[in-house]
Structures are given as structure tokens and as C-alpha cells.
Amino acid sequence: MEWHILSQQIVNGISLGSIYGLIAIGYTMVYGIIGMINFAHGDIYMVSAYITAIVFAVVTFLGVDAVALSLLITLVITMAITGLYGWYIERTVYRPLRTTNRLAPLITAIGVSLLLQNYVQISQGPNVQGVPSLIPGGFTIGTADEFFRIRYMDMIIVTVSIVAMSLLTFVIHKTSLGRQCRAVEQDRKMATILGINTGRIISTVFVIGSMMAAVAGELVTFNYGSFDFYIGFVLGIKAFSAAVLGGIGSLPGAMLGGLLLGVLESIFAGFVSSDYKDVFSFSMLVLVLVFKPSGLMGRPAVEKV
């Protein structure tokens, strides 16, 4: 096994895995707090990709030329609008269903997913859209024959993911808002009794999840350069698997699950078969869950009798 090929695959995997992780965070947080698998989350990520492109085009049109500045402004505005999407959907569609059985929000999420996909498809057209390639190039490590590349974009993805994760962990563990989130997650009734505005906290969690998805959306859009209205679907399933792999409800678990999934997938695709790589990913997921039923870092569910 040539070292440079293995290194390249690992680099690929880490880059891919960070994206999985960012989106998995959205799934894991929402599940942790209201026990609902938000199938529409992948499509929120898709919407954020479109909004990134639109905002970037507008920002460039308005004359901002510096790459870093335009990217930053785009990021902030995209996060805001995507967060608004998450809040809006939660408020109109999920909130009425909060008191019902577990599966009703699930099915509604499917409806929302369909709605978002088609709404974007009809509004923006079914064609592939793109953004210009902004940050090409990267480091080449190795000799002329045996080399592997770490692109600048790869580094940006990993850095931004780490920063976002750290910020989120800081918010969850050190701020009052984070404390309230954790309280609501652990025991909703008690939190309500103690005076926490549960409704608002749940909405906040949706917003945070959507903002993380927006970060992922922007990174991915500039990394791959193109997107269409269908990208949310496949990535959504993968990211959800990553969240479960890491233990649903656990933030570091989501990131770990994402990275693990990304790296293992890349290595399998690179060395065995790209055809069957999804079979491998799912089989691995099943194996891990068989031996560790609540995921890698999940807390085992305590059942009170």
C-alpha cells in the first residue's frame, strides 16, 4: 500500500467527514431534544447551498471583491436566512405536532422534505447551478511521482468545522442558553416546572441545527462548485447514519461519527470498490449498533420500570 495514496484517502475522508459531522449535529440536537428524526434537515442544507450562491452573487454584484470578505459576509447572511428557515418550519409545521405521537412529526418531515425539494426545483429550475472556483490550489506533499495533495479548501473545511464545533460546545456547556438546552433535553417536564420556556428552547435548537447546516452548505458549495435541488436527500441519510453511529444526542458523537464514516468510506472506496462503498458503510453501522446499541458515544438509554 503506497503511503501517498493512503494519505490522500485519509485527507479525502477527513474533509468529507467534517461535512457529515456538521450536518449530523443538526440531526442529533433535534433528536436529543424532542425525539424526532428531522428528515427535512438534509433539504435545509440544500436550501442553504442555493442561498449561499444567491447571496454570493448579490454580494459580488454589489462590488465586494475581496475573497475573504465576501465569503464571510455570505456566511453570516446565509446562516441567518437558513436559521430563519429552520425556525419557520418548526413554528408552522412541527409545533402543532409536538404533543402527538412520535411518528406524526416524522411523516410531516417527509412532507416538508418533498415540499422544499420541489419548491426549489420549480422556483430555480431543475438545472445544476454553481459558484465560481474561488480558492484553488493547495499543498503538494511528496515527490513528483508519489504525491498527495491537501487543498486549501480541505484545510478551510476542517478549520471551519472545528471552529464551529468548538463554538457550539462552548455555547452548550458554558452559557445559560446551553444549560437550558441541556435541561430541556434531559427532562422536559421538569424544565418547564422550573420556569424554562421550553417552546423557545426547542425553536432555538432548530435554529442552531439549521445554522450548522448552513455552514456545511457554504463549505460544500464552494468546495464542489456545483449543486442542484437533489443534494439534500443522499447526504441527509448519510449524515443521519453518522449521527446514529456516534450516538444520537451526543454532540461530540455526531462529529466523531461523521469523521469515522467519511474516512472509512473513502478508504473502502479507494482500496476495494467504489460501487459497494455504501453497502460497506451501512453494514458497518449495523455492526457497531449490534455490539453497542446506543452508538459509540451515546448514553445507554435507561429504562425505568
Q: Binding to another protein (CB under 8 A): which residues in 84-123? A: 84-85, 88, 93, 96-97, 100-101, 103-104, 106-108, 110-115, 117-123
Q: Which of residues 244-263 bind another protein (CB under 8 A)?
A: 244, 248
Nearer to another protein, 169 or 294 (CB): 294
Q: At what angle do helices 41-61 and 231-246 cross, to 10 degrees?
A: 120
Where does this chain touch another protein (CB under 8 A) — which range of 183-191, 194-202, 210-218, 274-282?
Answer: 274-282
Cβ-based neighbour number of residue 85 at 10 Å: 22
224 binds another protein (CB under 8 A): yes
Contact pick of 156, 169, 171, 277 for another protein (by CB under 8 A): 277
67 binds another protein (CB under 8 A): no
- Using DSSP's 3-state secondary structure scheme, residue 98 falls into coil
Q: To the nearest 5 percent, what fractions of the chain are helix, strand and coil?
A: 75, 5, 20
283 binds another protein (CB under 8 A): yes
CA distance 212 to 28: 12
The least distance separating another protein from the CB of residue 240, rounded to whole angstroms, comes to 7
Contact pick of 67, 72, 76, 128 for another protein (by CB under 8 A): 128
CA distance 250 to 247: 6
Q: Which of 157, 218, 215 is CA-nearest to residue 11? A: 157
CA distance 211 to 44: 9
The least distance separating another protein from the CB of residue 163, rounded to whole angstroms, comes to 22
212 binds another protein (CB under 8 A): no
**Contact criterion met (CB below 8 Å) for 67 and 288:** no
45 binds another protein (CB under 8 A): no
